[in-house]
Amino acid sequence: MKKVALHNLGCKVNAYETEAMQEMLEHAGYEIVPFQEGADIYVINTCTVTNIADRKSRQMLHRARKMNPDAVVVAAGCYVQAQAEKQVIDPCIDIVLGNNKKQDLLTALQAYEEAHGDLREVIDINHTKEYENLHLTKQGEHTRAYIKVQDGCNQFCSYCIIPYARGRVRSRKVEDILEEIVNLTKHGCQEFVITGIHVTSYGKDLGDITLIDLLEEIAQIDGVKRIRLGSLEPGFITKDTLDRLSKIESFCPHFHLSLQSGCDSVLKRMNRKYTTQDIREKCKAIREHFEYPALTTDIIVGFPGETDEEFEQTREFLEEINLYEMHIFKYSIRKGTRAADMKPQIDDQIKAKRSNILLEMSKQHQKAFETKQLGMVKEVLIEEKMHGKDHYYTGHTKEYMKVALYSEEPLENKIIKVKLLQVLDDGYVLAKC
């Protein structure tokens, strides 16, 4: 029995695909082992969203080769898809599986063994219309399951390489999604995070269904106690959508809006299709429909040409809309995108300074949001025991606040009501049953 080690890099979509490949290998009789020395096969699902992601992908591939020079090294996903376009493939790789080819992993391994030669399974991702139908019947984290419902993106933001690495929007069939979720509820999953490369585009290629329609279908499944959404395009937020979401009892009011900037001139250069006024109105509408919704976002600092004045506009706007949490990214040049040729490029020290300012704001906003809810009773899905602390358990509220509580009774995978007591310095809110 051959031993296989897998390693995932990047987003939740990648994580889903890695788990699906692992399950595929297990069913075929391979032994899954930790990503350490001693494996016969190493599978790395790569990422290319930033220069750092590229570097980590290369490092993990070379690490695999170093751990066992005789092993078969399989590189899958976005990094190798993008590199294949440039016809540059690292010699340490034996098998390349670009996007939409991960379902062929077993076939590729067999073909490699028979041919004893390198394999390059990379399609023209920019012209494929087929959704790669990977499946999960179980997940290692049995409380929460990530469900990939779509792939690809048609937005072509000026800084982003992903449409070139993932291709155009391709949606998964409704019946396939529902079948997977039903199976996962039987294995104990109670919360389902609906995700994709551009999840709010779900259904655009199907013609007769949208993301909100899909969510209403999922909500009808017995055993689905929570439905959570991944990163959202702000255009998804409409009055009709919010009205319908507010009627779904299992929906978690956690809205991760990918803003990227709080300055209209920067948003225009980014080719984002909204203004700060649009965002202002959408935040207001969400807060009118839900009590204490968690609003989070991604922000890029140091986008080409971003002046001190433009950054200050972003800072002021973010203070105004008062989000729960912000993920801050320093702009990373992606060759092949329009932003790569924009001038001037911003110095790394300036990017770091701006990043630190917003990270500090995010900490303050997070603490304020959590403090405001102390004394309230919230439902928490308990996920696991707290590492290193006997009888302490951790989980998340519907708003995705991390909660810690003491219990002498086992609580894993239970949804319980707790009272929020104290905001701790380590990112948790202390609670009691």
- Write out pLDDT tens, residues 326-344: 999 999 999 999 999 999 9
- What pLDDT does residue 143 have? 87
Lowest mean pLDDT among 31-35, 205-209, 262-266: 205-209
| 159, pLDDT greater than 60 | yes
pLDDT at position 259, please?
A: 96
Say how far apart CA 41 and CA 136 lie, in whole Å: 21
Does the domain at 3-123 match CATH 3.40.30.10? Answer given as no
Q: Report domain extents, the chain.
A: 3-123, 144-372, 377-432
Look up the CATH architecture of domain 144-372.
Alpha-Beta Horseshoe (3.80)
pLDDT for the residue 135: 78
67 pLDDT more than 70? yes
Asked if residue 63 has pLDDT above 60, the reply is: yes
Please, what CATH class does the domain formed by 377-432 belong to?
mainly beta
